[in-house]
Structure 1
Amino acid sequence: MTRPRHSRSLAWVAALLLGCALALAAPVLPTAQAEEAPVPAAAQSTSAATEDPVPNATLTPGTSPQIETPGDAQFIGSNRTTVSGSKAANQEIQLLSPRGGDPLCIVGDSSTSWSCDNVYLQNGPTITLRVVVTGAPGLSDEIAVAVLGAPTVLGGLTGPESNGWVRGTGHPQAIVTATLPNDDTCTSTVDSSGAWACLFSGLSDGSRGVTASQTSSFSKPSSSNASAPVTIVFDVTAPDAPVLTAPGVGAQVPIAGTQYTGTGETGATVTVFAGAYSVCSAVVTGGSWSCSAGGVAAGSYSVVAVQKDVAGNVGAGSTPRSVSYIAETTPTPAESDATTPPVTPTPSPAASPSPDSSVAVPGPTAPPSPSSTPGPQADSPDPEAAEPGEVGASAFPGQWNDPTRFAAAIGPTGTGSPFPWLQAGLLAVGALLLIAVPLRLLAGTISRTRGGRPLRGIPSLAGRNRIREEFDVAPTVRLNRWLRGGAALLAAATFVMLSGPVVDQPAYLRLLVAVVIGLVLVNAVAILVPLWWCSRVLRLHGTVTFLPRYLLLIAAAAIASRVFDVHPALLFGLLGSVTMTATADAGGQAGAQLQPQQPRSQQPTTAQRGQLAAVRVGALTSLAVLAWSLGSLLPGASTFATSLAAETGNTIVLAAIGSAVLILVPVGHTSGRRILAWSPLVWTGLTVVGYGILFAALAPMVEQWQSEGTGMALWIAAATFAALCASAWAWQRFVAPSQR
């Protein structure tokens, strides 16, 4: 059937309009594509929106650009990355900054792909990347990525040299892992300010490259890329003790303007302490140092110099020397106008202002700058000795991290001298022959003279001769044993702290904690080891006995150390003892160590008591040696943790070896008396070893005695005591019986 003419006309008009629309909307197509059937513009738009972009595909100018790399929700482990994608030819696009402001990059060329290299992105769990067409913000694409860049490594705590500590910056609350070339690592959590620091242990001196990476809550399990290696010079060897050359031993110096000089390690900072005062500090230049300060209260002090090297290692103190500080008399106006000048102390090489007057002590050189002449700390015990604003800052301000006297290294302080084990051994033998043995002779002489009776008056003073009926109600107060033990421990720790100077600094609260920890460990070893030996080896029942009289020994040792300025201090740290009783087994015998068929009431033998006492002394001595060895491996006391560790270790060493030495004294019912009754050879060996370790720990005090010339006087006093004890023993043993 033939269609009407007007229908054919309408078809031709529609075809003509469709062709014009395609010519206006579609780009010029290649020849191969022009021969194909035309595709409607709507179909092209749908294809571009639903299908993946094809490289080198030709897009219409009205098509939105795409971000192809990185992918949406991808983690990026670096703050610098490349962002790329596709766009229409001759289309200009902008990659917007997540923080606002200028675009990260602008690309406008005939290519159908775009790329922005080395784009900086900040750290964060959701960093938005958006690309838009210039002039047509509606044509855009947007993704979100998580970014965590590498942390930075800055060096040691104070500079390029380190004593094992490494510091840097990172993302707050991220966990940073620092790595050495040998794959040793240390970790740290970044604080809220973006700083971190961690400690490598077991290092030797040398330069190493350090890298670091970090992990955050939004990056797990992935971590950032490693940072570029930073070369750090590790110096983990503590410097030798500096040498204090002036003032001399026993010198009398003014309380203001005293000059301190000596030698040390170049680049290190030397701080001079006069008792609890930190008087001044100076940097060692060319192997020598010098500083001057005032503000020390009048009196006699033990002056010690300590140096801290560039890496942060703190060495042992110099040989202590006693120095007397005398108050200066300020001349009155009448005296100033007098013809005869007043007598003044010997001027120091450099002048420094007096804290209690505006008159400077004269000297041959100009006054040094305030930064080179720091005075004592403002928190000195005497508030009038250091007025605020009149003295400079000390090397160790009154903070929680400050090392105390208990943090100083134990052992010899002389530079270049071998460890004095031979000297300590000779002193131990001398103490055995001139103190321990004469004490045993004196105790035996007194006991035989009194026929074994105790000293008259002691029972009545103790109240043991009173009958219970004297009281209407028995005055018995039962306290919780944990409460008694805690109170005794706190009292003992307080006495131990008082063995050295104590000032109002926060560091001394940390010292109290360290002393408590040390005494707990010492008493735990002194109790648990004998209990184990008693039950496992001797097959006897052991009980722990709290001895309040031990607090008197603790106080006496601490007071003696303070009065005679013994440093390191001679400490006693025990609060109780272990006693044992016989126990019978199922067969009615008292165990393998007792003879068969013995009754259940058989008391422990002399040999068993001696063995248990020897185990107790040996455990304390071993603990002291172990704590001393571990303490030598720790870094210098420069932070809260290292200072606490040093103070705890030194407390253990001094309390353990001091307790072992004191209970070895063979008088009364001490462990030494029981060991001597069982085996004189074992007692002699333990005494020599214990005294040897004690004198090695007290090497600084021995050096001070030698330098002050008091060593010979002590030898003479000990020899006199031994002669008197031996004479009393010989008279009672040989002369008195012949007269009767």
Structure 2
Amino acid sequence: MIVALIGALTVGLLTLGSSVAAVAVPAPTPPPTPNSTEPTASPESTQSTGPTTLAPTITSPAPGSFVGSGTTTISGTGEVGREIQLLSPVSDQDPLCFAVVDAAAVWSCTAVSLPSGPDVRLRVVVTGAPESAAEQTIAVLSAPVVTGGPTGLALTNGTVRGSGYPAASVVVSLAGGKRCTATADASGAWSCTFTGNVAGGAVSVSASQQTSYSAPSWSNASAPVSLDFDLDRPTAPIVSAPVGGDRVPLSGTTYSGSGEDDATVTVFSGAYSVCSAVVVSGSWSCFAGGVAAGSHQVIAVQRDPAGNLGPGSPGVEVLFGPAAAATPDTTGPGAPIPTMGATAPPASSAPAPESTVPGAPGQEPPHPQASSPSALLPAPVPGGWNDPTLFATAVPAPWSTSPVSWVQAAFLAFGALLLLCVPARLLAGTVSRARNGRPFWQTVSIAGRNRSRVEFETAPDLPLNRWLVAGAAVTAAATLVMLSGPVSSQPAYLRLLLAVMAALVVVNAVGTLVPLWWSSRVWCERASVTFLPRYLLLVAATALASRAFEIHPALVFGLLGSVAAAPGLPGRRRGQLAALRAGSLIALALLGWLTLGLLPQASGFLSAFAAEIATSVVLAAIGSAALVLIPIGRTSGRSILSWSPPIWAALTVLAFTIMFGVLSPAGLFWPGDGGVSLWWAGAGVFAALSVAAWAWQRFVVPARH
């Protein structure tokens, strides 16, 4: 009976399982064969295979359309009651939105934030059924961001900065309708400056942008940002200490004075920045040392929080050097007789007795510290291999130059073109015609009898290693360039010499290899590099002039050679080759200037060495380009002028504008008091004399003959 009961239960279970299987499976399937290795579906897995879920769709925005905003609404269709997930274009694991399909079979996600890009992927899936999905791509460009003025604050001097899509064209608009344009760099940063009649005070600013994949469409305008425009330059600060004639120790001193509240005052020794301080309650103060020994003018300039740079303060002549050593007091026979006004400190630490001769001239109470043996030694000279030289900070960063300074630099460049370059060409032509084309060095000997060279024995040629000659020339030129500014016995100036040598190698390589490559590879014309020893005289002349007239940063000429074209090369090709040479030097100067602005502050050996190399490259490249463009002799400027006067004028104005922009901190060529600089007066006299000589040679001499 027990066996019968077990058999009945078994039959019942089998019958119940068959009925359940019949209900769960909508369509009959053949039973698995006995040899099949496929596992049998469990009841749970059998229940999940119900009716197929309706795949969702994306109806808005349309595939391939453009969205000019970072946030938009995305909608579509799907199975009623189902939950739809909008996945992130960056990562499929992060949903941006959950939406339930309503009774009209429509779902929608509002205010969805999307990244900018030409192919932004939109993908939606059904919750619990990831195989039911829809996907398409659109182009998105969000509005740029206005971050503020030149320093990122809401106060600006007309310059507006912000961020956007890399390489995008940005248009910045004021509430009054004025606009300025900019191009975002590789990181998306951009800036533009409003010029002309811009009202001061709070102004609403917005921006929009356009990219290559969005053209001709623009993004939406950014949210308006209120910026406070301050276009008034601050006045010159006052330097109250040190005063004229003071002797400042090399170990350092405190510079102080007064200025405009919240402005940043920078103190210069010559044209080298010494220290900076913020004006608080009308006063400023900073401590600095490391100035090279000698007599220097101390001036100060201040920049207000909006970025406006004011004129320099009147120069104060200060003597930098170690304190004079005190002479110890000795008594007894053979003691030296003190000179008038000298102070004789005691030889011991005991208090000095009063003079036995009342009212003796020059007798003063000794300083309490004069009894120390260290007081008899000069002040220690700071400096080491890791200390930055003043040369490292001679050139300001590109973005520290205000638009007003660039306008002044362009004005000075046109002045140099009209008062220096053109008169120099007229004077050179006048002298050449007066001498029938003979140069100055082909003169008649004033001693002895002129004899043919063939009558003398020919001296044997001594072959010299060209690398040795090049190294000696670069070393000599670097020494002259370094001496264009103050130099002390600090070890850091040996590092400066190496930095200037490296910079001259770069400048000469660009100035010779670029036109040499162009001539040989593009034109297939022979050309050669020629070393010109007379260029060393020009290097020395510019260094001496910079030192004599205290031009800081120094006017530097760094070329030591030129590219000699083939003898049969037409004049047109010679002019083009010269223009390529001058243009490559100008481009190198701009690249060096941008690099200098990206370098960290000089605080160690490597950072100071890099800053000195970049500064030397900028000064040598732009100084060389400006000087070789003066059209006298056989310079590049003469060849370019003969080929195309407009191109020569454009290159000359560009080179001199950059040069005056670099030299702008000295204030040498643009007086802050509105007077006429001696440089302008000298240029006017030179131009008048040159034009008068040309007119005499051109009109008066032919009339007399």
Q: If the length of structure 1 is used for normalisation, what is the TM-score?
A: 0.50
Q: Answer whether contact 1:253 1:324 (CA < 8 A) is retained.
A: yes
How far did 1:450 drift? Answer: 1.8
Mapping of residues 562-601 of structure 1, within 5 Å: 562-581=547-566
1:66 paired residue number: none
Give, in whole Å, the separation in 2 of the partners of 1:491 and 1:317: 39
1:255 paired residue number: 247
1:561–1:295: structure 2 CA closer, same or farther, 3 Å change rule?
closer
1:261–1:634: structure 2 CA closer, same or farther, 3 Å change rule?
same
1:725 paired residue number: 690
Q: Does 1:701 align with 2:666?
A: yes
Q: Answer whether contact 2:238 2:300 (CA < 8 A) is retained.
A: no
Q: Does 1:677 align with 2:642?
A: yes
1:494–1:667: structure 2 CA closer, same or farther, 3 Å change rule?
same
1:415–1:685: structure 2 CA closer, same or farther, 3 Å change rule?
closer
Mapping of residues 210-609 of structure 1, within 5 Å: 245-247=238-240, 252-255=244-247, 260-262=255-257, 274=269, 288-290=283-285, 300-303=295-298, 319=312, 322-325=315-318, 331=341, 358=367, 391=379, 397-408=382-393, 410-411=395-396, 417-418=402-403, 420-455=405-440, 458=443, 474-581=459-566, 603-609=568-574
The DSSP-based 3-state class of the residue aligned with 1:290 is: strand
1:298–1:581: structure 2 CA closer, same or farther, 3 Å change rule?
closer
Question: Partner letter of residue 246 of structure 2?
Answer: P
The DSSP-based 3-state class of the residue aligned with 1:706 is: coil
Question: Partner letter of residue 577 of structure 1?
Answer: S
Give, in whole Å, the separation in 2 of the partners of 1:621 and 1:276: 23
The DSSP-based 3-state class of the residue aligned with 2:530 is: strand
Question: Partner letter of residue 543 of structure 1?
Answer: S
Q: Answer whether contact 1:319 1:704 (CA < 8 A) is retained.
A: no
1:94 paired residue number: none
Q: In the TM superposition, what whole-angstrom CA distance separates every residue of 1:264-320 from its partner, at most 9, and x where no partner exists?
A: 99999999665699999999876743368999999741225699xxxxxxxx99958
1:648–1:560: structure 2 CA closer, same or farther, 3 Å change rule?
same
Q: Answer whether contact 2:571 2:643 (CA < 8 A) is retained.
A: yes
Q: Answer whether contact 2:508 2:560 (CA < 8 A) is retained.
A: yes
Give, in whole Å, the separation in 1 of the partners of 2:550 and 2:266: 20
Q: Does 1:713 align with 2:705?
A: no
Give, in whole Å, the separation in 2 of the partners of 1:278 and 1:269: 13
1:619 paired residue number: 584
How far did 1:413 drift? Answer: 11
Q: Answer whether contact 2:398 2:597 (CA < 8 A) is retained.
A: no
1:641 paired residue number: 606
Q: Answer whether contact 2:481 2:539 (CA < 8 A) is retained.
A: yes
How far did 1:536 drift? Answer: 2.7
Give, in whole Å, the separation in 2 of the partners of 1:697 and 1:628: 9
Give, in whole Å, the separation in 1 of the partners of 2:652 and 2:581: 13
Q: Does 1:660 align with 2:625?
A: yes
2:148 paired residue number: none
Q: In the TM superposition, what whole-angstrom CA distance separates every residue of 1:637-656 from its partner, at most 9, and x where no partner exists?
A: 11211111111111111100
Question: Partner letter of residue 699 of structure 2?
Answer: F
Give, in whole Å, the separation in 1 of the partners of 2:644 and 2:636: 12
What runs of 5+ residues in structure 1 fail to find an aligned partner? 1-201, 205-239, 308-315, 343-353, 361-385, 583-602
Give, in whole Å, the separation in 1 of the partners of 2:498 and 2:290: 30
How far did 1:428 drift? Answer: 0.3
Q: Answer whether contact 2:258 2:282 (CA < 8 A) is retained.
A: yes
How far did 1:693 drift? Answer: 0.5
Give, in whole Å, the separation in 2 of the partners of 1:306 and 1:553: 33
What runs of 5+ residues in structure 2 fail to find an aligned partner? 1-186, 190-232, 303-308, 325-338, 344-354
1:729–1:576: structure 2 CA closer, same or farther, 3 Å change rule?
same
Identity %: 53
Mapping of residues 111-130 of structure 1, within 5 Å: none
How far did 1:702 drift? Answer: 2.6
1:709–1:490: structure 2 CA closer, same or farther, 3 Å change rule?
farther
1:477–1:416: structure 2 CA closer, same or farther, 3 Å change rule?
closer
1:690 paired residue number: 655
The DSSP-based 3-state class of the residue aligned with 1:501 is: coil
Q: In the TM superposition, what whole-angstrom CA distance separates every residue of 1:421-476 from its partner, at most 9, and x where no partner exists?
A: 11111100011001100011111111112221223655869x9x876656656143
Q: Answer whether contact 1:468 1:474 (CA < 8 A) is retained.
A: no
Give, in whole Å, the separation in 2 of the partners of 1:290 and 1:452: 61
The DSSP-based 3-state class of the residue aligned with 2:667 is: helix
1:256–1:627: structure 2 CA closer, same or farther, 3 Å change rule?
closer
How far did 1:727 drift? Answer: 1.2
Q: If the length of structure 2 is used for normalisation, what is the TM-score?
A: 0.53
Question: Partner letter of residue 414 of structure 2?
Answer: V
1:305–1:677: structure 2 CA closer, same or farther, 3 Å change rule?
same
Give, in whole Å, the separation in 2 of the partners of 1:324 and 1:408: 21
Give, in whole Å, the separation in 1 of the partners of 2:401 and 2:518: 43
1:553–1:415: structure 2 CA closer, same or farther, 3 Å change rule?
closer
1:43 paired residue number: none
Give, in whole Å, the separation in 2 of the partners of 1:567 and 1:617: 23
Give, in whole Å, the separation in 1 of the partners of 2:255 and 2:572: 58
Question: Partner letter of residue 317 of structure 2?
Answer: S
Farther off after superposition, 321-330 or 489-498: 321-330
Number of residues of Structure 1 aligned to a counterpart in Structure 2:
433
1:283–1:737: structure 2 CA closer, same or farther, 3 Å change rule?
closer
How far did 1:664 drift? Answer: 0.6
Give, in whole Å, the separation in 2 of the partners of 1:654 and 1:726: 31
The DSSP-based 3-state class of the residue aligned with 1:443 is: helix
How far did 1:324 drift? Answer: 2.9
Give, in whole Å, the separation in 2 of the partners of 1:444 and 1:288: 57
Give, in whole Å, the separation in 1 of the partners of 2:261 and 2:526: 61
Question: Partner letter of residue 483 of structure 1?
Answer: L
Give, in whole Å, the separation in 1 of the partners of 2:313 and 2:443: 42
Give, in whole Å, the separation in 1 of the partners of 2:310 and 2:390: 10
Give, in whole Å, the separation in 1 of the partners of 2:276 and 2:589: 33
How far did 1:414 drift? Answer: 12
Question: Partner letter of residue 261 of structure 1?
Answer: S
Q: In the TM superposition, what whole-angstrom CA distance separates every residue of 1:652-684 from its partner, at most 9, and x where no partner exists?
A: 111001001111111111111111111111111
Computed over aligned residues only, the root mean square deviation of the Cα atoms, in angstroms, reads: 4.8
1:387–1:721: structure 2 CA closer, same or farther, 3 Å change rule?
farther
